[in-house]
Chain A
Amino acid sequence: MAATAIDIHGLEFRYRSASKPVLQIAELSLAAGENCFLYGPSGCGKTTLLGLVAGVLKATQGEVKVLGEDLRAMSGAARDRFRGSKLGYIFQMFNLIPYLSVRDNILLACRLHPERRQRLGGESLDDAARRMARSLGIENFLDCGVTELSVGQQQRVAAARALLGAPPLIIADEPTSALDAAHREQFLQLLLAQARAAQSTVLFVSHDQSLAPLFERRISLPEVNQAI
């Protein structure tokens, strides 16, 4: 595994070439296996940074290396493949495809990407989904439609999908903001425990600083983003 999970140098990003830069980061790196709390109020470029790291956006200037690979040098299709097989992504809410069962939602990335499936070892997709669901306490919902779940349960399904197939990097974009305080910490503990077990790096984004003590490392985006 690469020594650094994320390595950013001289990054600049603008949505349109003429507009003001949204992000300007001279230096930002994250060691492999580290879990990191990225803090910032709304509008400071959090989602943009995640888009860049996930390879959905392309840096206007500078270098974005994720898991040792230079995303700027990759084609769009290669970045999609990279994201699907090496990254787990959790949204703030509405993480699930409404017409698929819980099981199919959990297995989505593994089904799309052979590389990720291979990382399951010999385990069958069904067994893997069951194991992951059990460890997150949603085993009983595997065959349910996702609309029958509470928001907290839905977020756990999203976590299960992001964790399955042990992706080296997990990105969570305010996954707990729709949960109440009690569930928030419980969810986070589960997520971090599973990530640790898989030796995955976690980049956790939130505007809620009360969660920060649970992480090994904390970064304040307004401090590193020179565009603001």
Chain B
Amino acid sequence: MLLLNLAWQSLKNRRISTSLTVLSIALSVALLLGVEALQKSARESFSSTISQTDLIAGARGGSLQLLLYTVFRIGQATNNIKYASYQEWAKHPAIEWTIPYSLGDSHRGFRVIGTDQNFYQHYRFRRNRQVRFAAGRAPATFTETALGSDVAARLGYQAGTKIALTHGVGAAGILDHDDKPFTVVGILERTATPIDRSVYITLEGMSAVHAGWEEGAPPEPGEEVAVKSLSAEQLKPEAITSFLIRCKSRIDSLRLMREISNYSGEPMMAIIPGATMSELWSTVEYAETALRIVGGFVIVVGLMGMLVAIYTTLNERRREMAILRAVGAGPAKIVTLFVLESLLLAASGCVLGAGFMYAGIQSLQGYVEQRFGLYLRWQGLSQEHFLYMGAVLLAALFIGLVPAWRAYRNTLADGLSVRI
């Protein structure tokens, strides 16, 4: 207790060097914990983008790809599936509901999704939250569209705005479907998921924009199909990209997954979103490990700063050591004093670092969510955090032994006299 007090007083006496050392340790601890928090938040955000969906079905291909373009609007589908096939599956007795997605177009960089009323009714994210409208309603006809909140905010659209879609997901202007404009009828509530960054139209609307585009290029002048002259036949969807499935009983999902893979109508596949997401995590684990290693090195640098800060005081403290020896403090006590100083520095660094991370998360939350669609959340101090801080303290203990050992040697050599 006396030694702890001595260590504390001694650190307090060197206020500036102490606070700088603590600050550098705190920043490195905050970084390490921050990487952890970021990673958890990212996983949470990703995982909570879709819930209550048992299976995702699409054309046969990569399962990760299917997950990415269906749920996260990343990458593109290589093949579509027939709308007729979808209708067949939608009637399957084991299935409670389905949500069809037709992808491929964009509007000024935002993906366009053709879907139907099922999306607004059944889609769930963050466990059980439903897609709601901040304004207006769901598109009902082939000339209507609803916008994700980011789209509306970024482009400044409101209900009534007329927009043109772009063929493919490239930049606007080259292959615009400006022959068939859409009218905004609704804007979705913010969800902090990729839903916010998409434009929603009906499946019929998707067919309509592509009427006359059968070759994948704009119709020749004079061959454009006038919106008004579109027949019901031309509006009927012919293909979709993928669809989400909710089974009546989760037990059925594995069987259904096999059934879909063996479908004789066309090559198809189905994935379980959660399983494929863990596949995704294992692919990004390298990056996370790399970040963690960098974090570890930053900690080491911080502790090295501490080593230097303590070590440079050793010579001027030889006097102090002689006094302590004169009042009967043995070399073991001197070693303890120095180790305690290191531990105090590291412990204050840990506490301050956790505080920094908390404050950082609180203050950056809004910005990060807005800018990256990532919901940062203070997850409390987890066992992992304590593990990290324990490791920092342990490292401080070992690093603290270096100046302590040196002081011990000095003490033995000096005895009660100090050669300055």
Contacts and interface: CB of A to CB of B under 8 A. Distances in A.
6 contacts: A84-B328, A91-B326, A94-B323, A96-B323, A108-B323, A112-B328
A95 interface: yes
Given A56-B325, A97-B324, A80 B330 contact: yes
Contacts of B327: 83-84, 89, 108-109, 112, 161
B328 A113 contact: yes
A161 B333 CA distance: 19
B9 interface: yes
A18 B312 CA distance: 34
Contacts of A57: 415
B171 interface: no
A47 B417 contact: yes
Range class of the A interface residue count: 20 to 34
Interface string B2-44: 1000100110111000000000000000000000000000000
Interface in B324-345: 324-333
B319 interface: yes
Contacts of A51: 415-417
Interface of B: 2, 6, 9-10, 12-14, 319-320, 322-333, 415-417
Nearest to A75: B330
Contacts of B12: 99
Contacts of A108: 323-324, 327
A85 B330 CA distance: 12
A172 B34 CA distance: 57
Given A98-B13, A99-B10, A80 B416 contact: no
Contacts of A95: 323
A99 to B, nearest CB: 3
A91 B415 contact: no
Contacts of B322: 91
A212 B327 CA distance: 27
Contacts of A112: 2, 327-329, 333
A114 B415 CA distance: 23
Interface string A101-117: 00010001101110000
A77 B416 CA distance: 16
A80 B328 contact: yes
Contacts of B415: 51, 56-57
A161 B326 CA distance: 11
B290 to A, nearest CB: 43
A50 interface: yes
A65 B412 CA distance: 22
Contacts of B323: 91, 94-97, 108
Nearest to B9: A99
Contacts of B333: 112
Contacts of B416: 47, 50-51, 54, 56, 89, 91, 173
Interface in A42-86: 47, 50-51, 54, 56-57, 76-77, 80-85
A203 to B, nearest CB: 13
A66 B322 CA distance: 21
Given A56-B416, A91-B326, A97-B324, A76 B10 contact: no
A227 interface: no
A109 B416 CA distance: 15
A94 B320 CA distance: 9
Contacts of B9: 99-100, 104
A80 B12 CA distance: 27
B320 A97 contact: yes
Contact of B328 (A47, A85, A91, A99): A85
